[in-house]
Homo-oligomer: A and B are copies of this chain.
Amino acid sequence: MSAAVYYGPRDIRVENVVKPTLEESTDAVVRVTHTAVCGSDLWFYRGKTDRDIPSRVGHEPMGIVEEVGDDVQSVDVGDRVFAPFKISCGMCEFCRRGLHTSCVNGDGWGDDNGGAQGEVIRCRHADGTLVRVPDAYANDDSALRSILPLTDVMGTGHHAAVSAGVSAGSTCVVVGDGAVGLCGVLAARRLGAARIVAVGHHPDRLSLASEFGATDTVSARGQEAIETVQEMTGGGAEHVLECVGATSAMETAVEVCRPGGTVGYVGVPHGLDDGLDLFSFFGDNITLQGGVAPVRAYADELLADVLQGTLDPAPVFTKTVDLDSISEGYQAMDERDAIKVLVEI
């Protein structure tokens, strides 16, 4: 089978690899039909973080179940399913409390199970990990495009909003206009926020933020962004979604947070090499809540909304490629020509 393989910065190749097969009775083998390139993939693509060379990549799989182990109960051969970026058992203390990313039996996608940017994956703990798409939508390509972001960015944006404590009537600020930030806007609107200020610096993305429900957009960075938002909100918002993961974004987030407020953060903190300056949080009792998003915990409720037509993150996909052209997808993300790239396999 074919799969994307990382060979070093800006070097993604599609190679013939061994197809994964069932190994345990709780496994499912899934033929991937849709996947995506993630903003977090850019960290290794740009050489900013280490990664084994060669190594299998991708962590946002959707497809059709091809084979199931004897103990798998929730999905069957032929079912349309998707999986979050983390495998989780669904039965441990942390899965039961909705923190699937801390699953004691958890795992990621990679060499040993196929990597989600490939034709076939082996999903451990299929019952705890896979989410079944109702048959009525199983071959509805439009619906599938809207569902695919639930594998990562939509759940992550939602986690930012939940972590920031957004609720009906809230004023919130979303820092970052990438796919996660845009999904954060959708999530904040879905949770009933009355005012949503989106901060970024790409006019096209901020325009999409407005379509998604942002009531205000700020196209600026650093001190200019901070002052603008401070003025708009009369001293900051109680709920701030940090959807980037870089030092500068975290600094902006805390500065636009009202004293006693909460920064919900979901951006992988790769850029915080120098560490986080805690003084800005300390003096005004600003809470820092969030982390890697337990997307599986949110999948069912978000899926219900997508299927009802009240939530549609599909517009974050501004480019579609096939697996053979996936390196073009990475390049478009790297050059910010695409917000997020869908990969059809």
Q: Which residues of B contact A97 (CB under 8 A)?
A: 260
Question: In the assembly, what is the distance between CA of A288 and CA of B289, in Å?
Answer: 6
Chain B, residue nearest A290 (CB):
B285
Chain B, residue nearest A274 (CB):
B275
Residue A3 interfacial (CB < 8 Å): no
Question: In the assembly, what is the distance between CA of A281 and CA of B264, in Å?
Answer: 12
Q: Which residues of B contact A285 (CB under 8 A)?
A: 99, 101-102, 163, 290-292, 294
Task: Say yes or no: A292-B288 contact (C-beta < 8 A), given A260-B102, A277-B275.
Answer: no
Task: Say yes or no: A278-B272 contact (C-beta < 8 A), given A102-B259, A259-B94, A288-B288.
Answer: yes
- Asked if residues B269 and A282 are in contact (CB atoms below 8 Å), the reply is yes
Q: Beta-carbon contacts of A281-307 to B below 8 Å, as 1s and 0s?
A: 111111111111010000000000000
Chain B, residue nearest A276 (CB):
B276
A169 to nearest B CB, angstroms? 16
- Interface pairs (6), CB distance under 8 Å: A94-B260, A97-B260, A282-B292, A285-B294, A287-B287, A287-B290
Q: A residues bordering B, Cβ < 8 Å?
A: 94, 97, 99, 101-102, 163, 259-260, 265, 268-269, 272, 274-279, 281-292, 294
